[in-house]
Structures are given as C-alpha cells and as structure tokens.
Structure 1
C-alpha cells in the first residue's frame, strides 16, 4: 500500500501523504488482529469445551469457557501460532493453499448447521424476522451507515488488505470481475450466516433462553455467540454438544481466514520496505502482536473496547476515505484505464467504467464521511 500510493502520486507532498496512509493502514490492520486474536482464541476454547463435555470432562470444559486470564492468553497464542504458520509458508504455499482448504470447509459446515437449525422449533420465527423487511427501519440513515461500517470490516477495507492481495493478482485478470466476485461471495456468506444466527436465536427463545431485555434490545449483543448460543446448545442435550462443536469450529475457520489477510498486510510492508525474509518478518510481527494481545488481556476492561472502537469505528472510515481520494482524485484516469485494459481491453465500453470513476470520486467519499460522522456522533 505504501509503494502503490507513492507511485500514483504526482507530487512530493502527495507521495509523503500516501506513504503515511499506507503505514497507518498496516498499523490499523495489526491493531485489529491484536483484538481479533483474543476473540478467536475464545472460539477455539469453546470448540474444545464441546469435546471435553462429550468425553465427560466437565471441570475442564468449565475452565475452557471461564474467560480466565491464563485460558485467554493460552488460546490467543495458539491462534496466532496457526496464523503465523500459514503466513510463513508464503503466498502460494501458505495463503492460497490454506484459503483453498478453509473456505470449502467453512461453507460445508455453514450449510450443515443451517440445515439442522431450520428443523428446530422456533426457527420459523427467526426466518420471519430475517426475511420480512421492515422498510421504515431498513431505510433509516443510521442503519444504512451502520451496515456500510460492517461492510468495511467484513471486506477489510481501509487497511490496505485489498491492495496487498491485488498486487498478487496477474495482470491478465479482469480486476472489476474479480472485485465483484469477492464482494458477491462475501455477501452470500453473510446472508447464509443470517439463516443460521437469527433462527438459532429464536430457537433459544423457544427453549426458554432469554435473548431480549424488557426494552426489546438484545442481551449481550457484543458477545452473543459466547453467552446466548451456548445456553441454547445446553438445552439440546447430546445433539447440542455436537452442534456447539460444529458452530465454534465454523467460527474458528472464519476467524483464521480473516487473520491471514490481516497479518499479511504488515508482513508485506516489512518485506518490501526493509528487505527482511518472510519467516523473519512473520515471526517478529507475530511476536509483537502476541505481546500486545497479552497486554490487552492484562488490562481487558480498559483496553479491549478502546482498541476495538479506535480501529473499527474511527480508523477504518478515515483510511477508507483517503484510499478513495487517491483512487478517484490522485490516480490519473488514463493510467488507471491502462492498468484495467491489461485484463480487459474493452473495459472502457463496459458499464463498470461508466459508473466506477465518478462513483469512487464523488459518492464513496461522501458515504464514508457519513460513516465517520455516525461513529463520532451517532
């Protein structure tokens, strides 16, 4: 990201600003991974607790779900070790190879869980909530902006991840098509996950688990999967243990695919700018992230929410705005068109070129500023 923003900048001031934006992107990606590794460690622990329950090891299972300091540190380190191992192997043998394995496993597990949950009593109520729109609330500006913020996080926008992955793509690839497919897959998985989470919540409600406050708000909204859903699984007997294992296994896979992209951002910068070997760069950055995650766990109440808010509510929208400015205003239109023609010689005649340039130049910055304003004052 640092080099890319420098190369498209016509002046020294813009080159320096572009470099600063790229550096800020890899710092924010690292900060996201710092708190994400903690949450992913919880997912591993809850997954293993299901196995412990199945084997009759109730005390060990209780420890795995206790949120104790040493449990949190241990499973955070396990998760970071998995991530480091994949990134150390490189782009082809690491990222591509494991993504090709993890994504099918994620989809198969997700389909199986959806198929099972939809057969349970109460699931139909969740489907109604999910599929029947409330247009008054759906068109709320606050809700739309919140959804855009979620898209930022889901697609890793504003931290340079897409720039890094884009640099690994062959010049012969049709970039608008690739970008569209990535977005389509992301949205499809999110919709499929909705068929799991919303029905599961109402199955829990049907089974006597409280999921709403008297005012109608969700209980434990931020930690729903670690509070409400385990209570649901506990009402399902032995089947609940299997479903719990499968669910948290699924969440662990999803977390690992995300962490791979987050760690690759700072690693790519260090390799490119400072000439370190990949394994050295991965070990150094992974170690720093592990230390930072441990520091947050030692002062969880004060630091965890602060890091989450700083990265997802403030930093990502600001950096996304800067990337839009460079793509729409700084990058010369003819140079951009030449790059796109490498993968599609007729791109100028297509619908993409008629919409994208002015959209990213005018519409996207305004929307992103709206996200940032909502983060500050919403």
Structure 2
C-alpha cells in the first residue's frame, strides 16, 4: 500500500491541477479524453508496468538498471534522472509561489486584478533576458521547500512513508471539497461544458495526440527514473501489473477531478463578470495564479478560505512530486558510492542554488520555457 501511495503521490503533481484541464480544453475538450485514455492504456500503463518491473527485478535506480540490461544504455538512465532534477528545480519555484500565495489568501490581496498582482509579486521584467531584482520572499520560500524535501528524504523509505500518509490523501480530499464547492456555484455548468464539450474535428490533428501522450508521460512521472527507484524497494513477489493500473487510474481520475474544480469556478467567474469562459480560461501558470484567484475573489462566502485551500492543494501535490524526483536522483548518485545523507544534502543544496535565479523578475519566463520543452519533448524523447 505504501508503494502504491508513493507512486500515486509522485504521479499526481502540479501539472494535474493547472496543466491537464487547460490541455484538455485546448485540444478538443471532451474529445481529448479519447486520445488521453488511448495514451494511458497503450503507453502509460504498459510503460509504468515496465518501469516497476525493471526497478523490482534489478533492485537499482535507473542508471544501474539500464546498465545491467546493456552498458551502452546507462546514459538513458542518467537522462531520466537529469530530467527529474530539472523538473524538481522549476517545480520548487512554483511551490514557492504557492507558499507565498497561501499567506496572501488571508486578505485576498490580489483583489480584482490578479494579473497585475502576479506580475508585481514576481517583479516581472519585460524580457527573459532582463533578470531584474531578486525576490527575497520567494528565496526564503525556496529555502523552506528544499529544507522540507531534505527532511522528507533524510531517513529514506521510512520518512517518505510518513510524508505520503499526509501529502496524498489530504490534498485529494481538499480537491474534492473544491470540486463540490465549484459545481454548486451559479454558472458552473457553463464552465464544465467549456471543459468537456467534445470537438471531434480536433482528433484529426497530430498535435492533439502528441499533447495526450506528452501529458501521460509528464503526469505519470514516466522516463524520470522515479518509478524505477521506488520499485527497487519492492519485494520480488509484488504485483507490478496491479500496482501500475491502480497508480495510473488514480492519477487520471485526480486530473479529471481537477478539471471540475477549476472549470466550474471559471464558469462562475464568467457568470459573475459577463466575460466569456473562453476569455477567462488561461493557460498553465496563468490559470493557477491569475484566473483562478480572480474567480476566488468573486466567491460570496469564505473566499479567503477557498483561496488558501487551492494553493495548499498545489503545494502539497507539488512537494509530493518534488521529493520523488529528488529520490530518483539520490538513488542514482548513492549507487556510485556516495552516502545517502551526503548525497541528499548535496542534491538539495544544488537544487536550491539553481532555483534561486528563477526568483528574479525573469524567472517566470524560464519556468514556462523549461516546462514546455521538458513536458512536450524531453520526457517523450
């Protein structure tokens, strides 16, 4: 059970909340679910089973496991580990924003112009090549995030099990609360129609199918060495088929639920302001930090509470994924002879150091760039 929870926790990350709903809408609405589930059953679950089987069989992290298959394939394991580390670095920045926004939620300080507040909060510059000033609030939040990751991984499997006992069920329950609250709001059905109405003509586009397969790779933590590292702790009699099916279907279910939580509230925003849902819906980071906070501000009751819940969901799902990515890196490094504690400390310090430049005014540009290329090309390749 602990292994399945860890796998689900790794798979269910920030992308399920702010990436899947928009990708679904952008690529045919309800029709996107067809290539999504085709990708899930033709690639997602089979590859998840393979990664579980490789980790269980060889009892090693990705690089050594691939090396045992063939020495010439060890590089593929290190590529997966590198991808996990890069994602963890920019994930930590988004989590730092979430942590700051939880504090800001108490007074809904973004007001009715969340876009202006977001840019002001980040000190956003006009170009990715103009760094601007360093935001110390984000830096301290990053320090907190990386310290939390270090403490979760400090005692290895035992401390990971303690962490996932909270970081998997609690945000899932909070997401259910957000979805239930969302669908009871006036205009919610308009938002859900916008999210789910199928546009079957989009299925003829190769880009829609690429988006579906890319989402599966990103969402299930495939090709990052994470599942291989986790599965290396499994007993030889563990059922990898059953575990893979449970983890994959749980991940897809939570992503689908996130769409209800997000687009029902966007429907309410459209109902309250008269702005069409198509104009209200943002993409990626804008959906999480601009559009949704704007909608939250319009709630008649407990707006601050639901704002805090939303960003707490993002934070806890994000930290779940982040420590699993760093576990993938640590497992690979320790197999080269480094002690677990020193490797964990060194990796977290390096991750913090690399994330600090993303706390400048140009940081959001580079987070977008990294997310686009890693999720659409790096993992699939």
TM-score by structure 1 length?
A: 0.74
1:209 to partner: Cα distance: 7.1
The answer to whether structure 1 residue 159 and structure 2 residue 224 are counterparts is: yes
Where do 5+ consecutive residues of structure 2 fail to align? 1-61, 110-116, 124-134
Distance 1:143 1:158 in 2: 21
For the residue of structure 2 that corresponds to 1:274, the secondary structure is coil
Moved beyond 6 Å, runs of 4+: 62-65
Corresponding residue to 2:141 among 59, 69, 75:
75
Residue 171 of structure 1 corresponds to 236
Structure with larger Rg: 1
Corresponding residue to 1:35 among 79, 82, 90:
90
Higher relative contact order (CA closer than 8 Å, sequence separation 6+): 2
The verdict on how the C-alpha distance between 1:220 and 1:142 changes in structure 2, with shifts beyond 3 A counting, is closer
Distance 1:63 1:74 in 2: 18
1:53 to partner: Cα distance: 5.2
The answer to whether structure 1 residue 105 and structure 2 residue 170 are counterparts is: yes
Residue 255 of structure 2 corresponds to 190
1:185 to partner: Cα distance: 0.7
Distance 2:333 2:101 in 1: 34
Where do 5+ consecutive residues of structure 1 fail to align? 10-14, 55-61, 319-378
Distance 1:53 1:201 in 2: 17
Moved more, 26-35 or 74-83: 74-83
Residue 232 of structure 1 corresponds to 295
For the residue of structure 1 that corresponds to 2:184, the secondary structure is coil
1:38 to partner: Cα distance: 0.3
The answer on whether the counterparts of 2:186 and 2:268 sit within 8 Å (CA) in structure 1 is yes
1:235 to partner: Cα distance: 1.7
Residue 370 of structure 2 corresponds to 307
1:210 to partner: Cα distance: 4.5
1:143 to partner: Cα distance: 1.4
Distance 1:36 1:231 in 2: 23
Alignment of 1:1-378 (within 5 A): 1-9=62-70, 15=71, 17-51=72-106, 66-68=121-123, 69-91=135-157, 93-138=158-203, 140-208=205-273, 210=275, 218-219=281-282, 221-276=284-339, 278-298=340-360, 299-300=362-363, 303-318=366-381
Aligned residues: 301
The verdict on how the C-alpha distance between 1:236 and 1:267 changes in structure 2, with shifts beyond 3 A counting, is same
TM-score by structure 2 length?
A: 0.73
The verdict on how the C-alpha distance between 1:280 and 1:64 changes in structure 2, with shifts beyond 3 A counting, is farther
Distance 2:274 2:380 in 1: 36
